[in-house]
Amino acid sequence: MSDLTPSLDPGSPLPLYEQLYRSISRDIIMGRIQGGTRLPSRRALSRHLGISEQTISNAYALLKAEGFISAKARSGLFVERMLPLTEAPVHPAPHKEKDEALIRFDLLPQSTDISLFPRKLWARLMREALLDEPDLMKRGDPRGEHSLRAALCAFLYQFRGVQTTFEQMVIASGVDQLLLAICALFNRPLRIACEDPGYTEAARVIRRAGHTPVPLPLDEHGIRIDTLMKEDVDLVYITPAHQFPTGISMPASRRAELLHWAQERTGRYLIEDDYDSEFRYATRPLPALQSLDATGKVIYLSTFSRSLAPGLRIAYMALPKELSEAYTKTGLRSGETVTRFEQHTMARFIQEGHYTRHLRRAGNRYQKRCEQLCALLSQIPGSFLSGQEAGLHFLFGIKGRTEKDLLQKAADRHIPLQGLQGFCQDVHLMPALVMGFGGLEDEQVEEAVALLRMAWSV
């Protein structure tokens, strides 16, 4: 098809790529461009219309995102066959709340790429565990399987500098359950400081356990020490590797200040949630805060739900020796909340080196996706980004635009997003979005940004 000649107005406030998109989509809907028609290549149409190939690419990306065209390998872009408008159903389809089919692109910070999970390998290891361990259907250790706790000790020491023993390790089905277990270790009401903004579920868990969460603001290095010193708190919950949701990586100086605070008084502890520490793109990660702790003041916890898959409910913590003994006295059996054969499978996965290889492969994939997404978003006038050096999310905003406006316009295009203010308790920060890329497919990045640009008219 070489006679595609839409009317474009360079003086219009509407970007050229959106004018081109609207012209082609209108012609497809009206039947002027028939289904099955092959569209001109980007280069050919660029020469024909006298506009840049990037403008053509942006318009084509929007058409693909809206389902007007599709790509065929080594053949080009073709118009999808559209039903005549008169054949539209008279009665609308029943409304389905949170219909996943309506989500065009997944840019939520909690999402991960489950296609990276090694299903066949995991299935083989699980079969081997079931066949080689005939007693797996019996009750296990209340702290979790010895094999997994031992494997984690070796892995965490090598990759995060965590110094612990398998006796101090506890397995559970999630970080929230570990937080509940920590709260049960103290026979007194606790005041527990939490990051603000931060992981709001932590505050809910603390409250549910009968204790008091105390939100504390952040600065560019993480939780503020000056504010912490003014509060009478017993524990501090932090995500120093890649703070959620701001993406701040806590420097060594701030970590040392927190350790000094904990060491000043008996009964003070730091809860280090090593969230998103597995993936770092710009610099080498700092060792875990726990690796600096020589006096037993850090409770270290993490999970496999980010690095492997959210449906794999295995989390773990390393307790200081004193609290490990207290855990035994409570009679808690957190380890029994994860099936024994899953724990043995995970132990083999780590011991045989599969987990390390998976992290390397997944990290490379996530890094390329993050770089592509950030490069495209940074082209938006007035845009700003931060926290993209690690993890699976970063902050993004457009100067002069409110969170509500950006969220609503994206939602209208079936792209659910989350705003920074939704993770705040007491503080009010500049409008920004917590942009995730774990659930976005590589080939969707360009289309997703093009659709967002059209939604936001930028």
- 96 found inside a domain: no
- 151 found inside a domain: yes
Residues 309 and 439 in one domain: no
| CB of 427 closer than 8 Å to CB of 197 | yes
pLDDT for 310 beyond 60: yes
Q: What confidence score (pLDDT) does residue 82 get? A: 63
The DSSP string of 201-264 is: HHHHHHHHTT-EEEEEEEETTEE-HHHHHHS--SEEEE--SS-TTT-----HHHHHHHHHHHHT
Q: What confidence score (pLDDT) does residue 64 get? A: 82
Which domain range does residue 452 map to? Answer: 102-116+357-456
Residue 418 token pair: 């989350």
On average, the pLDDT of the chain sits at 90
pLDDT for 89 beyond 70: no
- 421 found inside a domain: yes
pLDDT, average across residues 14-29: 80
Residues 246 and 321 in one domain: yes
pLDDT, average across residues 110-125: 95
pLDDT grade for 239, boundaries at 50, 70 and 90: very high
pLDDT, average across residues 284-313: 93
pLDDT grade for 3, boundaries at 50, 70 and 90: low
Last residue of a domain, one of 324, 355, 386: 355
- 372 found inside a domain: yes
User: What percent of the chain is predicted at pLDDT more than 70?
Assistant: 94
Residues 215 and 310 in one domain: yes
Residues 109 and 80 in one domain: no
Residues 433 and 406 in one domain: yes
- 10 found inside a domain: no
Residues 125 and 256 in one domain: yes
Residue 426 token pair: 């007491």
pLDDT, average across residues 248-267: 95
Residues 395 and 432 in one domain: yes
Single-letter code of the amino acid located at 343: Q
Q: What confidence score (pLDDT) does residue 88 get? A: 38
Residue 47 token pair: 């020469």
Residues 336 and 417 in one domain: no
pLDDT, average across residues 44-67: 84
Please report, for the domain that includes residue 35, its CATH number. 1.10.10.10
pTM of the model: 0.78
Range with the largest mean pLDDT of 95-109, 241-255, 321-335: 241-255
Residues 346 and 282 in one domain: yes
pLDDT grade for 13, boundaries at 50, 70 and 90: low
Last residue of a domain, one of 312, 327, 355: 355
pLDDT for 74 beyond 90: no
Residues 301 and 182 in one domain: yes
Last residue of a domain, one of 355, 374, 407: 355
pLDDT, average across residues 107-123: 95
